[in-house]
């Protein structure tokens, strides 16, 4: 066989081999990375049950990426609890899914149509922005059991600012435990056929256990627009418990509970 034929043939074989190797290797590498990330995300998302608050409804629902206590009376969660790990922070952009009924809730959660034409947002309790590390985790936040009627300017304003502030804390603090919900009481207005209660106030408690000593900070915010600083809404956790009617640290020993309910260290929790 002449050199004129051999050399081009060798070049074709070499290029084909390199192309196959590169694409086969990259495919396997991508697949392995995806599997490892998925496994880590699940492990990191498990909320330590010792930090779950008291459930006055008796219906605790364990999802893969957050836990909630559902109030059948108010057609929403009385609290949602989840962990936010540095590995959860992501800028992934996903198509926004429609809200769906939570089939894990006995008899199902409220229908999303209750919000239509109500003038209120389906306000996330576990934020979709905290679950961008995978589409599965992101989509799970679009269950109506994770929604509560929020004034649209409150939802997009101070409530969103607080969620972003917490995400900014995580790289410094390590994993944080977050408990949040609306303050559900008798006599509140409601929306829709299912009569979904409209909270006058929303609370959020943030706990840092991976610090030199345990720290926590609580917020209580009226469900209305405001331009006030986040520090305006810092509230003793004992006061949040009085408002909500349940124990936030129901399963912790008294020593740790006392530490977490102590004075807020404003120099640590830098607020904007």
pLDDT digits (tens, 9 = 90+) for 194-246: 999 999 999 999 999 888 899 999 999 999 999 999 999 999 999 999 999 99
Q: Which residue has the higher pLDDT, 211 or 158?
A: 158
Q: Please tell me the predicted confidence (pLDDT) of residue 269.
A: 94
How many Å apart are CA 64 and CA 82, to the nearest integer?
10
Supply the pLDDT for residue 51: 83
Beta-bridge mates of residue 80: 68, 180
CA distances from 271 to 7, 64, 213, 255 (A): 69, 31, 20, 27
Mean predicted lDDT score pLDDT of the chain: 86
Residue 50 pLDDT grade (very low, low, confident, very high; cuts 50, 70, 90): confident
* pLDDT, average across residues 42-70: 83
Q: Provide the pLDDT for residue 211.
A: 87
Determine whether 19 is exposed, middle or buried from the number of CB atoms within 10 Å of its CB (0-12, 13-18, 19+).
exposed
Q: What is the arithmetic mean of pLDDT over 148-160?
A: 98
Q: How far apart are the first and last CA of the chain?
A: 78
Bridge partner list, 140 = none
Helix (H) or strand (E) holding 153: helix 152-156
Number of helices (H) and strands (E), helices first, in the chain? Answer: 6, 10
Residue 34's pLDDT is what?
A: 32
Report the alpha-carbon distance of residue 246 to residue 182 in Å, rounded: 12
> Taking 70 as the threshold, does the pLDDT of residue 85 lie above it?
yes
47-260: which CATH architecture?
3-Layer(aba) Sandwich (3.40)
**Mean pLDDT of the 134-143 span:** 96
pLDDT at 19 over 60: no
Is residue 109 within 8 Å of residue 70, measured between CB atoms?
A: yes
What's the pLDDT band for 26 if we cut at 50, 70, 90? very low
Confidence check: pLDDT of 15 > 90: no
The stretch 146-159 carries a mean pLDDT of 98
Which of residues 40 and 267 earns the better pLDDT score? 267
Give the Cα separation of 189 and 95 in Å (integer): 32
Does 21 score more than 70 pLDDT? Answer: no
pLDDT at 210: 87
pLDDT higher than threshold 50 for residue 29: no
Q: Give the range among 28-42, 131-145, 191-205 with minimum mean pLDDT.
A: 28-42
Q: What is the pLDDT of residue 22?
A: 37
Q: Name the residue ranges covered by the structural domains of the chain.
A: 1-45, 47-260
């Amino acid at each position: 066989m002449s050199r004129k034929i051999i050399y081009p043939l060798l070049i074709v074989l070499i290029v084909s081999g390199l192309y196959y190797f590169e694409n086969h290797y990259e495919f396997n590498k991508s697949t392995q990375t995806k599997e490892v990330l998925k496994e880590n995300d699940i492990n990191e998302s498990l909320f330590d049950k010792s930090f779950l608050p008291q459930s006055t409804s008796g219906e605790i629902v364990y999802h893969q990426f957050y836990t909630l206590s559902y109030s059948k009376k108010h057609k929403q969660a009385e609290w949602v609890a989840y962990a936010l790990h540095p590995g959860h922070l992501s800028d992934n952009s996903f198509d926004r899914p429609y809200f769906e009924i939570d089939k894990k809730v006995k008899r199902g959660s409220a229908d999303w149509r209750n919000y239509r034409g109500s003038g209120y947002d389906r306000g996330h309790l576990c934020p979709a922005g905290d679950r961008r590390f995978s589409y599965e985790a992101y989509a799970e936040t679009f269950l109506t059991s994770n929604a509560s009627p929020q004034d649209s300017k409150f939802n997009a304003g101070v409530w969103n600012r607080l969620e972003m502030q917490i995400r900014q804390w995580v790289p410094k603090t390590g994993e944080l435990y977050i408990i949040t919900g609306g303050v559900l009481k008798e006599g509140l207005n409601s929306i829709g056929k299912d009569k979904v209660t409209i909270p006058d106030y929303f609370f959020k408690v943030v706990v840092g256990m991976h610090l030199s000593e345990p720290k926590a900070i609580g917020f209580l915010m009226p469900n209305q627009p405001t331009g006030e600083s986040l520090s305006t809404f810092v509230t003793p956790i004992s006061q949040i418990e009085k408002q909500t009617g349940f124990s936030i640290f129901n399963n912790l020993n008294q020593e740790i509970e006392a530490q977490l309910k102590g004075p807020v260290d404003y120099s640590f929790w830098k607020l904007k």
